[in-house]
């Protein structure tokens, strides 16, 4: 095998990666297997979320609400959005009593603040009686919303909560115990990419029926894969032109990366203070992933409940809220597809793996192939016992069984019936 032939092995094409259609087919097959295993039918798969609709809210109109005597801003929506963005991170809290609404046939419950089982006062209607059972109930509900539930318990608390549990892979966490008797649920960008289609509508319906629901963090993102519509340089100029000013002083900005002599490692432009309720990042996503020639740019706006209330419909109308975040983003109108973003991340990871293999092992591969041939070389070195991280496609149907599918806890009422009631 010549160096040129070996080099061809390192060039990635759609055929070399078995094509996106084949990946989609495998995911759909895995999804149907999971639905059947979990008692659903093919028809039970919900249609994609319809996030249509427009808002005529102009810039400068900021709705204010009074919460506990403190005036807070509510992010406004702007037209042109629709599906122009996606949710890339989500934190929300609900009251523990959300999962206590069961028929009045239980006289005990688990008090997180006291750390023990307590007797329910007459007229109460509670179900879970210890922290593990509470986690099982939460896991069941999360699976109905996102397609996956809690995987395992961590040996420590997170975010000032006493106990914490992890979702599959690096998809998020569940925290409870303390913090005004609330439960904190975190979904990372990877977890939301893996979630079952239509999770946005299901989550909003759940939050509307839950006790004391509140979104504490919401990251909205828009990808420009060619860099033709937006770039870090344009973001820098927009800031100079006052297009990140939403009334008042121009927010501070920060440059990261080599702006004077770009080195292909990616540049980032930040606007605002992350301690506040709104923070913006514009960065060269493709180059961050290792492709020095990529023009892929990502816009992200992180909303926090520090000085504002985040409406639930920001989950189902992310494009409208992102477009209204700053005058600079009024152009946002292109439809965004999560599967396209996921595909490009996997492609970038594969390209990086090829580059690593060529630079670190290329000379050995070449001479070993020359000695024993391609087939014998692959037989000796190839392994299939583990899937490398770069090749994993986040998808709910590929997750491991959740704790509520493994544990033997049998509640006195049907969890599915209780979930439907919520």
C-alpha 385/C-alpha 400 separation (Å) is 17
Query: Which is more confidently placed, 2 or 133?
Result: 133
Confidence of residue 43 (pLDDT cuts 50, 70, 90): very low
Rounded Cα distance, 233 and 122, in Å: 64
pLDDT at 68: 55
Q: What is the pLDDT of residue 77?
A: 41
Average confidence (pLDDT) over 341-354: 65
Q: Contact 51/319 with Cβ under 8 angstroms?
A: yes
φ and ψ at residue 16, rounded to 5 degrees: -60, -30
How far apart are the C-alpha atoms of 253 and 105, rounded to whole Å? 58
Question: Residue written as tokens 């986040």?
Answer: 394
Q: Residue 335 CB: number of other CB atoms within 10 A?
A: 11
360-371 pLDDT, tens digit each: 888 888 888 888
Q: Where are the domains of the chain?
A: 3-18+340-391, 63-336+400-421
User: Across 111-115, 195-199, 307-311, which has the greatest mean pLDDT?
Assistant: 195-199
Does residue 5 have a pLDDT over 50? no
* Predicted confidence (pLDDT) at residue 247 exceeds the cutoff of 80: no
Residue 80 contacts residue 312 (beta carbons within 8 Å): no
Q: What is the per-residue pLDDT for 70?
A: 59
* Structure tokens that stand for 23 in this block: 């990946």
Q: How many CB atoms lie within 10 A of CB 389?
A: 10
pLDDT at residue number 19: 46
pLDDT in tens, 141-182: 999 999 999 999 998 889 999 999 999 988 999 998 888 889
The pLDDT tens digits of the residues spanning 248-276 come to: 788 999 999 999 999 888 999 999 998 88
Q: Per-residue pLDDT tens for 51-93? A: 333 333 333 334 445 545 555 554 544 433 445 788 999 999 9
Q: Which of 41-45, 294-298, 303-307 has the lowest average pLDDT?
A: 41-45
Tens digit of pLDDT for each residue in 369-421? 888 888 888 888 887 766 666 556 566 666 777 776 776 444 444 555 555 54
pLDDT tens digits, one per residue of 82-129: 457 889 999 999 998 887 654 344 444 445 445 555 554 444 444 555
Residue 137 binned pLDDT confidence (cut-offs 50, 70, 90): confident
More confident residue, 50 or 352: 352
Of 132 and 48, more confident: 132
Distances (CA, A) of 156 to 21, 107, 111, 117: 42, 29, 18, 20
Model pLDDT, residue 227: 85
Q: What's the pLDDT score for residue 134?
A: 82
Query: Higher-confidence residue: 152 or 335?
Result: 152
């Amino acid at each position: 095998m010549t160096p040129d032939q070996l080099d061809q092995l390192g060039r990635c094409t759609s055929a070399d990666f078995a094509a996106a259609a084949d990946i989609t087919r495998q995911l759909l097959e895995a999804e149907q297997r999971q639905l059947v295993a979990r008692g659903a039918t093919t028809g039970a798969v919900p249609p994609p979320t319809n996030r249509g609709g427009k808002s005529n809210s102009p810039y400068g109109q900021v709705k204010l609400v009074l919460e506990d005597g403190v005036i807070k801003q509510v992010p406004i929506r702007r037209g042109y959005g629709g599906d122009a963005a996606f949710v890339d991170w989500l934190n929300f809290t609900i009251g523990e009593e959300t999962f206590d609404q069961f028929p009045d046939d239980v006289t005990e419950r688990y008090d997180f603040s006291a750390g023990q089982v307590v007797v329910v006062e007459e007229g109460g209607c509670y179900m879970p009686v210890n922290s593990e059972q509470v986690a099982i109930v939460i896991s069941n509900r999360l699976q109905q919303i996102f397609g996956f539930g809690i995987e395992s318990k961590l040996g420590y608390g997170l975010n000032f909560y006493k106990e914490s549990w992890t979702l599959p892979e690096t998809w998020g966490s569940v925290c409870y115990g303390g913090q005004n008797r609330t439960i904190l649920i975190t979904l990372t960008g990877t977890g939301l990419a893996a979630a079952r289609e239509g999770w946005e509508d299901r989550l909003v319906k759940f939050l509307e029926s839950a006790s004391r629901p509140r979104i504490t963090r919401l990251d909205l993102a828009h990808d420009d894969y060619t860099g033709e519509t937006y770039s870090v340089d344009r973001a820098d100029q927009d800031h100079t032109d006052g297009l990140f000013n939403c009334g008042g002083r121009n927010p501070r900005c920060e440059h990261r990366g080599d702006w004077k002599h770009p080195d292909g490692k990616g540049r980032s432009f930040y606007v605002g203070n992350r301690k506040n309720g709104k923070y913006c990042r514009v960065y060269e996503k493709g180059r961050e992933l290792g492709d020095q020639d990529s023009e892929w740019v990502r816009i992200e706006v992180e909303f926090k409940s520090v000085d504002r209330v985040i409406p639930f419909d920001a989950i189902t109308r992310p494009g409208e809220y992102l477009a209204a975040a700053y005058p600079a983003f009024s152009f946002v109108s292109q439809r965004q597809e999560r599967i396209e973003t996921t595909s490009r991340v996997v492609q970038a990871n594969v390209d990086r793996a090829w580059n690593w293999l060529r630079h670190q092992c290329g000379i050995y591969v070449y001479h070993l192939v020359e000695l024993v041939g391609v087939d014998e070389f692959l037989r000796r070195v190839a392994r299939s016992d583990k899937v490398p991280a770069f090749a994993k496609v986040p998808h709910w149907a590929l997750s491991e069984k959740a704790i509520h599918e493994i544990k033997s806890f049998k509640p006195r009422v049907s969890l599915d019936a209780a979930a439907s009631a919520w």
